[in-house]
Each structure stands twice: as structure tokens, then as C-alpha cells.
Amino acid sequence: MSNSSNLTYPCIPGNTLCEVLMFEVELIVVPVLFLVAFLTVLIVLLVLKFSHKPSQSYQLQKFEKHDTNHHNNTNRHGNNSRQHLQGIDAPPDFNPMEHEIIPMTAQSHTDMQNCTSAVPQSSTERSRDIFQLISPLPLSFSVKHHKPFTLYRGVMDREPVILRVLKESADSRDREFFLDFARFLTELGPHPSLPRLLGQVTAEMPQMIVLEELEHKDLLSFLWRCRQDHPGQAAPCDLTERRIFTMGAQIGSALEYLHSKDCIHGKVRAQSILVDRDLSVKLWGLAPAFRMATEARFPLDGLEDLELRKWQAPEVLARKPMLQSSDIWSFGILMYEIVTLGEAPFPKVMASELLQYLQRGNKLKKTPNCSKTLYSIIESCCQWRPKERPSLTELVRKLQSAERTADDRTVIRVSEPLDIKKYMKEVGYAESVINAVL
């Protein structure tokens, strides 16, 4: 019996070394292999996680926290802090920014009544890790300081972009507006004379909208820089009459596209136009168009209405519904802004008295550097009766025709330097607002 047992189990009872050697595979090799496999998988995961360059998202979060602290400090100090105004470095709604091909992942509760929805394009949801060289944009010339978003400049795929970032302090209503506005831009669709919407970040915080950056930013600050020569400036402000007609045709084309979508822009002015390196322009400032499409939930801002009074058509000043032809009136005022290099419209008329001034048959005065052809276009846009204003198709055709024969040599100059306080008074800001801004 003992001999049979030794044949099946060769180790002498109590010989531990023999037993370990006999069961070496089960006791040592297999556990070691499992341990090696686990460590290998762990190392691979760690390498994948930390092999990329450090993300700029930390820098963005730092800016967001700084912006939140600045907002709180501003509330404590009131109007004692003063801004250094250097033109308008970015449109307040870009605020734009106002951005194009990204459906929002968040479900919109909006029924776009005034704007026909286009078919959304394929999703371009972005990760905040792809943005580099993030820096805040300089302060803008704007009465509304406490916006629910902040503007940053950054780089995405080697292309300069503007990041419209929702603040951490934004409430649920601000977040709803932010996401619905992005969806509105998506459904609007792309156009050559509208800024390109390059992406969105909605799956992680902070949420943001990504738009292309145009080198010269908004048209108003560009016009102000053009008032005087700037020796050594990389991109000289050589604005000729032909360039004005070119710009007008591009803006008119974008406006015609909006109207084809049953949209009313509601904020056509130089501050809502962006200027690129080649002096081509794109129409922005689309927040009022979105608010009109969602007026029940996001009514127009009364303070913003004060800013716009010098650009508003008579029917809008009279508190009647805004029409597409109201945009054409504002377009005529915009052309006046361009040819005067950023002068306030109706400079000697108080904003509160503008409607009565127009009722008496008064019009914008022709300036010395405005040709008869250009003034006739301005005059046709600013007709008292909406039905007498030209259609956008006719307007674009006139601008393109005038462009072919316009002077392309004489550079438009205005000798008078810019006085921001005087400009704000002429636009219609109250003295208390002017003191708060300046």
C-alpha cells in the first residue's frame, strides 16, 4: 500500500521544497504571469494618460476663476474702477462674438418662430484639451460689464480662434440661453460673410462656443484706427470708396441670407461687423436676432435698446414691430458710419428726439468725403416708409455695380481725432453711464 502511494506522490511527507517544486506551475508561474499582465495594462494606461502635452484647460480654468473674482470685486467697488478704452477689441456679443456647423448636444426647448431651422450638420463636439495659447481678450467698449460669458483668444488645429466661455457664476437661465443660442447659430447654417463656427464644448466644463478669429476684429474700432495714419503699422487702414462698396455688398449678402431664413438681424451697425486681414467683412451681433426668435423667454435688453437708438428705423423708434426692412434702414446708417470712419449717426440730434427729427423730414447729412453714388444708396435705405426702401437683392446689385467704377486710389481720411466721451453723448448714453464706463 505504501509503495503504491509513493508512485503517485513522489515527495516524502514533510518535504516542503519537494512539494513546491512539484506544484511550481500552479503556485508560482501562473500567479506571476497574472501579476505581470496586470502591471503591463496599468503602465499602458498611465502612459496613454500622461504622454500628451499638458492641457491648456488648467490655464482656462485659472482665467475663469480670475474672471469670477474680478466680477465679485467689481460688484464691491461699483463704479470706482475705470477701464482703459482702446477701441472695441471684440464685439460685445461675441461675444461675437455671435456665432458654423455644430448641433448642440443639449436639447433645446425653443420653438424658433421667427427663424426657419436648417438641417443641422454633423457634430463637431470638441475637447477643451485641444486648445492652446489661451489668453483673455482685452476689455471691450460696452456698457454691459457683467455678461454671463467671457471671451478668450486661443489656437485650435493651428488656427486662431475665439472662445466664448460660459462663466462658472452663470445661473441656469444663463446656461439655457448659452446653449440655445449656440443651437440657433448651428441651425442658421454657414455663409461666406458670417463668421465660421468651429466647434463646441458642452460635455465638460467650462462650456464654450468656438469661432474663427478675424484679424482686425470689429469694424468700429477698425474705423477709429483709420482716422489717423499709423506709421509702421503692419496692416494699414487704406480704406477707399471701392472698398466701402465691397464691404457693403458682403454685409448685404449676409443680411439677405438671414432674411431668407425669416430672420431679422436687429443690430446692423459697425460694431456688429468683423474685419479680416484682407479687409473682407463678416456680419455678427446675432444675439438680438436670437432674442426675437425667443422673445417670450429671452426678451430684448432695454439698455441694449438705448445703445441702438441712433441705428433704429422710425417704426422701431415708434415701438412698432421690427420688420426686415428695418434692417435696411440700419444698413444705410452703417454705410454712413463707414464713410465717416466711425462717426456717431445724427451727431447733433439727441437720441430721445430722433423720431421727431425724422418726422419733420430730416435726413442724414451728406459728408464731404461721401460720393453722390454712395449717398444715394444711403438715402434710399433711409426712407421713412418701409415699403419705399430697396430690397436686399436690389441693394446688393447696386453696391456691386458701384464697386466696379468706384475710386480705388483715394484713401478716405478724417482729420478730427476720436473723442470717446463725445461719441457716447452723441449716440445717446446717459451721463451716469458715460462716467461709469470712462
pLDDT in tens, 318-377: 999 899 999 999 999 999 999 999 999 999 899 989 999 999 999 999 999 999 999 999
pLDDT category at 398 given cuts 50, 70, 90 is very high
pLDDT category at 182 given cuts 50, 70, 90 is confident
Mind listing the pLDDT tens digit for each residue in 160-179?
A: 888 888 888 888 888 888 88
Residue 93 and residue 144 in contact, taking contact as beta carbons nearer than 8 Å:
no
What's residue 109's pLDDT? Answer: 37
* Max avg pLDDT among 68-82, 89-103, 227-241: 227-241
* Whole-number Å distance between alpha carbons of 361 and 341: 25
The residue range of the domain holding 6 is 1-30
Residue 48 placed within a domain:
no
Residue 37 placed within a domain:
no
209-233 average pLDDT score: 81
* Whole-number Å distance between alpha carbons of 66 and 363: 47
pTM above 0.75, yes or no: no
Between 97-101, 137-141, 311-315, the lowest mean confidence (pLDDT) is in 97-101
21-38 average pLDDT score: 73
Please confirm whether the linkage preceding 120 is cis (ω < 30° from 0).
no
Same domain, 261 and 314: yes
Residue 247 and residue 281 in contact, taking contact as beta carbons nearer than 8 Å:
yes
What's residue 395's pLDDT? Answer: 97
Domain count, the chain: 3
Same domain, 222 and 187: no
* Whole-number Å distance between alpha carbons of 389 and 381: 5
Checking if the pLDDT of 399 tops 70, the result is yes
What's residue 228's pLDDT? Answer: 66
Mind listing the pLDDT tens digit for each residue in 236-284?
A: 678 999 999 999 999 999 999 999 999 999 999 999 999 999 999 999 9
What's residue 417's pLDDT? Answer: 81
| Between 204 and 241, the higher pLDDT residue | 241
Residues ≥6 apart with Cβ < 8 Å to 315: 321, 322, 323, 326, 386
Q: What's the chain's average pLDDT?
A: 76
Among 191, 212, 233, the domain-final residue is 212
Same domain, 292 and 392: yes
Same domain, 205 and 327: no
Among 152, 180, 212, the domain-final residue is 212
Q: What is the CATH number of the domain that holds 109?
A: 3.30.200.20
